[in-house]
């Protein structure tokens, strides 16, 4: 957000704390795509993600008085969303069909967030590329769903939603060191998984088994 937008956000939050539903609805309009995208990437189910997104905003409105501004409002909202996802996850006791836990636990240094650049749009005019992109998005989602939930959450918030390590720590109520470890290990597992399907990746992202990150591609995050 630019400075004016941040000022607007602070005003809308203040009005929301006074019970102004219209003000909070404006916040929803801005943050709904972000919230839905994060929840969908965590669950992989459109309808469930839509329901939990709605529940998250209801919970946020009821609890907006507790927001003190110590972290970004986006991180605060995503903490509510990820908590609801975690509650849902525990209820259904979902387990990945193919665990990535057996892959290397080796840590890697913080590097460029290449995953967000792979989740792109804007090629719908080319049917062949669009088909390949859909296949790649499905592959990335499949890989995410096989990560341990805490690593998946950290990867989605950092590498797809673009939160800083500090914001991820605030959203997940974890220490900064824990967040760094989850992201590092999650990236390693994702890279190992995607290596099996490297022919689907853009040329600059055809990963090797080394820990080197490819250069970032231009592109936005898919909803």
14-48 per-position pLDDT tens digit: 999 999 999 999 999 999 999 999 999 999 899 99
Q: pLDDT: is 8 or 2 the higher one?
A: 8
Over residues 42-62, the pLDDT tens digits come to: 998 999 999 999 999 999 999
CATH 1.10.1740.10, the chain: domain bounds: 3-92
CATH 1.10.10.10, the chain: domain bounds: 114-205
Q: Is the pLDDT at 97 greater than 80, yes or no?
A: no
C-beta of residue 163 within 8 angstroms of C-beta of residue 157? yes
Alpha carbon distance 82, 153 (integer Å): 8
Task: Write down the pLDDT at residue 105.
Answer: 40
- In the chain, the percentage of residues whose pLDDT exceeds 70 is 68
Alpha carbon distance 162, 38 (integer Å): 11
CATH number at 114-205: 1.10.10.10
Q: pLDDT: is 183 or 140 the higher one?
A: 183
Distance of CA 47 to the CA centre of its chain: 17
CATH class name, domain 3-92: mainly alpha
Residue among 188, 219, 126, 50 at smallest CA distance from 134: 126
Residue among 1, 2, 57, 50 at smallest CA distance from 25: 57
Alpha carbon distance 81, 212 (integer Å): 32
Burial level of 48, CB count in 10 A (0-12/13-18/19+)?
Answer: middle
Side-chain-side CA neighbours of 104 within 13 Å: the count stands at 13
State the chain's mean pLDDT as an integer. Answer: 76
User: Strand, helix or coil at 168?
Assistant: helix
**Structure pTM?**
0.71
Alpha carbon distance 174, 156 (integer Å): 15
Per-residue pLDDT band at 114 (split at 50, 70, 90): low
Q: pLDDT: is 109 or 44 the higher one?
A: 44
Residue among 106, 120, 90, 97 at smallest CA distance from 211: 106
Residue among 41, 143, 51, 140 at smallest CA distance from 91: 51
């Amino acid at each position: 957000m630019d400075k004016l937008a941040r000022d607007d956000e602070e005003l809308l939050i203040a009005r929301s704390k006074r019970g102004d539903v219209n003000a909070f609805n404006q916040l929803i309009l801005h943050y709904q795509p972000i919230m839905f995208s994060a929840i969908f990437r965590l669950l992989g189910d459109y309808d469930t993600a839509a329901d939990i997104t709605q529940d998250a905003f209801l919970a946020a409105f009821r609890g907006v008085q507790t927001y003190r501004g110590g972290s970004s409002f986006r991180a605060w909202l995503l903490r509510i969303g990820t908590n609801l996802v975690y509650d849902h996850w525990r209820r259904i006791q979902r387990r990945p069909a193919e665990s990535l836990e057996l892959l290397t636990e080796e840590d890697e240094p913080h590097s460029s967030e290449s995953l967000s650049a792979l989740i792109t749009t804007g090629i719908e005019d080319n049917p062949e590329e669009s088909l390949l992109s859909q296949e790649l998005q499905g592959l990335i989602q499949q890989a995410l769903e096989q990560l341990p939930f805490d690593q998946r959450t950290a990867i989605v918030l950092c590498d797809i939603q673009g939160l800083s390590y500090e914001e991820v720590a605030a959203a997940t109520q974890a220490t900064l060191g824990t967040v760094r470890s989850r992201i590092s290990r999650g990236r390693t597992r994702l890279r190992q998984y995607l290596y099996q399907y490297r022919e689907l990746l853009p040329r600059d992202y055809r990963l090797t088994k080394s820990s080197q990150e490819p250069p970032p591609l231009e592109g936005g995050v898919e909803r």
